[in-house]
Amino acid sequence: MTSSEPVEVPLPGGIANRGLVVRVGDTVRRPQRATSPATQALLGHLATVGFDGAPRFLGVDERDREVLTFVPGDAITPPYPDWALTDAALRSVAELLTRYHEAVASFDFGPHEWPDRPPEPFRTGLVSHNDPNLDNVVFRGERAVALIDFDLASPGGRLWDIAIAARLWAPLRSDTDITDRRLGSSLRRFRLFADACGLTSEERDLLVEAVRQSHDWVYEIVRVGGENGSRGYADYWAHGGAARAERSERWLTTTAPQLRRALSD
């Protein structure tokens, strides 16, 4: 590399594109996909309506990679800092998702080809992010301010995003797979997140089922992606992902009554 060539700094996080997403100055370069035009249209809409919680699409570089604005701040990657796992941080994630859903509600998603869509009855007329994992939320001043990595975004719904975020941030999984300060507080944080999202009684009635189905939906994407040649997905699935999915599935099934009570007590 000569001194005139831009420096590419790999960005941590992610599974499918691990090692392929880089920062170049104040931009991010990402591999394109068949559904990239849909994502780019979505980001364009968010910019048009003034939503500041997502990167801006700038074009395509000479290597046919998406060029996006770099969103300054902290994406939450292991080892997780304690401040990112506080109740205040969790509430700020709920507030960010609410702002995103308000901004995306007016987007016309019909003309575009999208990735896998959530199942019915969780398609309610807006494009959900579908992957609000810890490393896809950017914080500044210990508050969630932006969503990144819209690769899985597709026509879905508000409750679907809330279910995925609750499962990841509470988190809703076996204690065997919780090794941080959230151990022992999953049910309480689940209720806190639902309250912070302002869920109606009807939405609360559907939320536990949305959590279970979103778990299966996401892990099926990973499994199939690995079988179809995604090295990141294949490595994740082979090195503990399949076993974690099975443990979480059992936990969600056996704990469903407690999850429902947590939302109503």
pLDDT attached to residue 15? 75
- Catalogue the long-range contacts made by 199-207 (C-beta closer than 8 Å, 24 or more residues apart): 199/159, 199/162, 199/263, 203/159, 203/162, 204/263, 204/264, 206/121, 206/122, 206/159, 207/159, 207/162, 207/163, 207/166, 207/263
Sheet holding 74-75, edge to edge: 74-75, 137-140, 143-147
Half-sphere exposure of 238 (CA within 13 A, CB side): 9
pLDDT attached to residue 3? 54
pLDDT tens digits, residue range 72-131? 999 999 999 999 999 999 999 999 999 999 999 999 999 999 999 999 999 999 999 999
Residue listed under structure tokens 């570089």: 61
Alpha-carbon gap, residue 206 to 197, rounded angstroms: 14
Alpha helix positions (H), 170-241: 186-196, 201-227, 231-236
How confident is the model over 11-40, as a mean pLDDT?
Answer: 89
pLDDT tens digits, residue range 184-224? 999 999 999 999 999 999 999 999 999 999 999 999 999 99
- Which residues partner with 27 through β-bridges? 24, 69
pLDDT tens digits, residue range 108-120? 999 999 999 999 9
Residue listed under structure tokens 């809703």: 172
| Beta pairing class for 27-31 and 65-69 | antiparallel
Residue listed under structure tokens 């205040």: 88
Domain 74-264 sits in CATH at 3.90.1200
| Beta pairing class for 65-69 and 143-147 | unpaired
Q: Where are the domains of the chain?
A: 9-69, 74-264
H-helix or E-strand spanning residue 37: helix 36-48
pLDDT attached to residue 138? 98
